[in-house]
Structure 1
Amino acid sequence: MRSQTLSVAGVHGVSIVYDVHRPESGAVGVVIISHGLGEHAGRYRHVAQRLTDLGYVVVAPDHAGHGRSGGRRLGVTDFRDFTSDLHTVIEQTDRGDGPTFLIGHSMGGAIALDYALEHPGVLDGLVLSGAALVPGDDLPGFMVRLAPVIGRLVPRLPATALPASAVSRDPNVVAAYEADPLVWHGKIPAGLGGALISTMATFPDRLPSLTTPTLALHGGGDRLANPEGTRMVGRLAGGDVTVKIYDGLAHEIFNEPEHDAVLRDVTEWIAAHRPEGRTPPD
């Protein structure tokens, strides 16, 4: 694949850096990748390679306050900023007359779902990977209720850290994650945590209006994002929805030992949901 790095001004003038990966021959569509909390788009290069091999242009931004993008590290306190920045990147992308798919992982899954709900008709398909759509079972109810308030009052208060060991069952993935200088290894600020929980609270009422075909995938052994959020999508979302829970897999299903099978499920679903027209190369 052929890659280039671009940037665009996001909300509040923050520079949003994004990669564009192109297939060697003519493109048949576009796939956007929305990464998770504390990480960056470069961790999805292997996913981009799989998709460009099938003829898709892959566009992968670093969210504000993440990776190479500008802004205070994990300093976003209004979740709509992420969705607005994503929309700006999509609007900047030459999508031609092919389909557009959006893949969102973890917090990026919440961003992707929020985007699909706010911009119906833009996407031809939505793929959610270990999406963070409901609070964890280990978070007491009173903390769920208080988190948005605390986030507004003391947004920079360090709240909790993500244990690297829960990212994947592959020790090499965990080691690379821990050594990656573009990954945030500190605690999540209360402002961002509260903003995410506030957005989570909106999904049950909004999901019935989802019209974008959706594939919702989750590791059954995920300790970072509650699989119940993915099951909720299956129960409440309108339209064409497929849910698959992979028994025993950890949070980053694209980085698990079984990632080939997971990526095959994704690419086969995308192929099955392409509108009539150009087809990927053999």
Structure 2
Amino acid sequence: MAPHVRFPGVDEELQKLLDANMDQAPARRRAREAFKDIQLGIDHILFKAPTHGLKIKESYEVNSRGLEIFSKSWLPETSQPKALVCYCHGYGDTCTFFFEGLARKFASHGYGVFAMDYPGFGLSEGLHCYIPHFDRLVDSVIEHYSKVKENPEYCTLPSFLFGQSLGGAVALKIHLKQPNAWNGAILVAPMCKIADDMVPPWLLTQLLIGLAKFLPEMKLVPNKDLAEAAFRDLKKREMTTYNVIAYKDKPRLKTAVEMLKTTQEIERRLVEVSLPLLILHGEADIVTDPSVSKALYEKARSSDKKLKLYKDAYHSLLEGEPDEMIVRVFDDIISWLDEHSTKTINS
């Protein structure tokens, strides 16, 4: 089990919710509900984004596989959005913590932002951080965002995928399954390849792949401290403890195998990527490999593609860097979106 964190000033009842087994969604939902005001009160640049002038909505909907999926949207209150930004979150994560701040910033710049928790992640139903089939996960995301894009209010607007880390792999798989459905993708430290240092030695990997056939849900894969590897700013690294429904245990066997298989598939298929791309990666990222972002940039057959590498930056470009770097990366994304939203509308 991952160690439980004690929060100063938190009463016993609340601490009990945080200490509960989070394998299933009801426990995660209780913890988040009780803790969300504390989360939004932390001293992080993302949570200083204003909420006035925004329409924010949370909902649960049962998908075609019978799983209750959590989703959230942030829209400008008084104007039609310039475009839709559909978010794909990272490994073990949720769209309700750090992304809350990012989504508000996008919406205050005039974008309609839509996000969901994958099955088994965050507030959605399913065994926590268990990916039995990566393709099935991707299909769930396609199903959700297809409904968003078919809404008569938005169906004429440009739409962009925005994937971080594992979400970058999800976004690329969505594009490979729907080559002409999107006007572009923003990929932040995309998981096209897990950095060699994060993968167990070859022999152990083969053993784990074999074991996954018999014990798919077991939390057995050795892993490094992701917050330490991903967050450069120490104060912000400490704030990751407030992400109370993030998955912090060892990866489940089948999840690890599916992630490995998916990155190998994406690496093979980089040449098939054909949509407008903005790829952003920290040069000091030791979680996902920046050299594969370079390969994606070089091999993708998109005629419209841009790669931005940030010197000394770690994996969590928008959450874990010093404030000035976060602002720089965010501004780079907004200027690309602004350019591509008008380009799409005018073409």
TM-score computed with the length of structure 1 as normaliser? 0.92
**1:74 offset after TM fit, Å?**
1.0
Name the CA distance, whole Å, in 1 between partners of 2:202 and 2:212: 16
The equivalent of 1:114 in structure 2 is 173
The equivalent of 1:100 in structure 2 is 159
The equivalent of 1:135 in structure 2 is 194
**Corresponding residue to 1:178 among 241, 265, 287:** 241
Greater share of helix? 2
* Identical counterparts, % of pairs: 23
Name the CA distance, whole Å, in 2 between partners of 1:227 and 1:145: 25
**1:83 offset after TM fit, Å?**
0.7
**Corresponding residue to 1:60 among 111, 115, 122:** 115
- AA aligned opposite 2:111: Y
Matched, 1:48 2:103: yes
**1:237 offset after TM fit, Å?**
1.0
Gaps of 5+ in 1: none
Deviations 1:122-144 (A, max 9, x none): 11010111111113222334455
**Corresponding residue to 1:9 among 59, 62, 65:** 62
Conserved? CA contact 2:194–2:287, under 8 Å: no
Range with greater deviation from structure 2 (115-124 or 267-276) = 267-276
The equivalent of 2:276 in structure 1 is 213
- AA aligned opposite 1:160: P
Matched, 1:234 2:297: yes
- 3-state secondary structure, aligned to 1:70: coil
- Equivalent residues in 2 for 1:190-209 (5 A)? 190-209=253-272
| Structure of larger gyration radius | 2
Deviations 1:143-184 (A, max 9, x none): 555654443332123213451222312233222212321111
Deviations 1:40-67 (A, max 9, x none): 1022122212211221110011111111
Range with greater deviation from structure 2 (246-255 or 165-174) = 165-174
Conserved? CA contact 2:230–2:315, under 8 Å: yes
Name the CA distance, whole Å, in 2 between partners of 1:169 and 1:30: 30
- AA aligned opposite 1:6: S
Conserved? CA contact 2:158–2:345, under 8 Å: no
Name the CA distance, whole Å, in 2 between partners of 1:118 and 1:143: 32
- AA aligned opposite 2:86: I
Conserved? CA contact 1:144–1:197, under 8 Å: no
- 3-state secondary structure, aligned to 1:132: coil
Conserved? CA contact 1:204–1:236, under 8 Å: no
- Equivalent residues in 2 for 1:81-100 (5 A)? 81-93=136-148, 94=151, 95-100=154-159
The equivalent of 1:260 in structure 2 is 327
- 3-state secondary structure, aligned to 2:269: helix
Query: Aligned residue pairs: how many?
Result: 278
Give the superposed CA RMSD. 1.8
Name the CA distance, whole Å, in 2 between partners of 1:265 and 1:85: 29
Deviations 1:95-138 (A, max 9, x none): 32110001101111111111111111111010111111113222
Greater share of strand? 1
Range with greater deviation from structure 2 (171-180 or 232-241) = 171-180
Q: Which has the higher contact order (CA 8 A, sep 6+)?
A: 1
Name the CA distance, whole Å, in 2 between partners of 1:153 and 1:231: 37
